[in-house]
Amino acid sequence: MAKLFLVAALLLAAAAAAPALASSSSSSSGDTNNTAAPTAYEMVERYGFPRGILPEGVQSYVLRPDGSFEVLLSGDGVEGGGGGGDCEFRVGDGGAYLLRYGRRIAGNAREGSIRSLEGVSVKVLFAWLGIGQVDRAGDQLRFFVGPLSASFPLANFADCPRCRCGFDCAGGHAIAAAS
């Protein structure tokens, strides 16, 4: 039961990142008539996901007419700075699960669903498992790692997590350098 909750929490965090990435990519459609393109976080909300599925630090995004997207994270929150690393933070009860967003996140987005997700993974025991799909069902987000899934309340993703400390940066709960 605890393992399932861990997998679900990790999947939720990863899934949250993917929809935000997917929706934010629509700003690069080439429309120069708009002076202010929507942010990645605004685009995630347009797809029916909370902005907190995407961590702080989106550098750019591309959303194509077919729904495929790419999101690039700055990497500034990663230990050592420099903008070259992955974004990691803990989620779940007491930070039980470690989520990792690669610098590049890609997938295919449509209203309430992100499929073929790349660049988001969760650490389960000693292995990193890719989150491949995130779906919204009412007030829940369901994250899929292969045939397994876990659901979390939308309210858990109201705020954007920060690399290295997640949702509790003020509390000083940074993750250890070794993962």
Determine the pLDDT at residue 171.
54
Alpha-carbon gap, residue 138 to 79, rounded angstroms: 36
Which own/partner pairs from 92-95 qualify as long-range (CB within 8 Å, at least 24 positions apart)? 92/5, 92/6, 92/9, 92/10, 93/5, 93/9, 95/166, 95/168, 95/173, 95/175
* pLDDT tens column, 134-162: 999 999 999 899 999 888 888 888 888 77
49: closest CA among 92, 26, 16, 91? 16
Residue type, 131: I
Inter-residue contact 33 to 118 (CB < 8 Å): no
Which of these CATH numbers, 3.90.1460, 3.40.50, 2.60.40, 2.30.240, describes 2-29+36-157?
2.30.240
Higher pLDDT, 168 or 52: 52
Determine the pLDDT at residue 80.
40
Determine the pLDDT at residue 4.
36
If you ran DSSP here, which 8-state letter would residue 28 be given? G
Determine the pLDDT at residue 8.
38
* pLDDT tens column, 163-175: 877 666 665 444 4
Q: What SS3 state is found at 37?
A: coil
Structure-block tokens of residue 98: 């470690």
Average pLDDT over residues 2-21: 38
pLDDT of 72 strictly over 70: yes
Determine the pLDDT at residue 153.
83
User: Average pLDDT of the chain?
Assistant: 74
Structure-block tokens of residue 2: 């605890």
Structure-block tokens of residue 175: 């993750």
Determine the pLDDT at residue 124.
84
Of the pLDDT bands very low, low, confident and very high (cuts 50, 70, 90), residue 97 is: low
pLDDT of 79 strictly over 50: no
Average pLDDT over residues 41-64: 92
Determine the pLDDT at residue 122.
87
Residue written as token pair 């080439």: 30
pLDDT of 91 strictly over 50: yes
pLDDT of 85 strictly over 50: yes
Structure-block tokens of residue 74: 């700055």
For the chain, the residue count is 179
Average pLDDT over residues 2-18: 38
What are the distances in angstroms from CA 9 to CA 16, 22, 152? 11, 20, 7
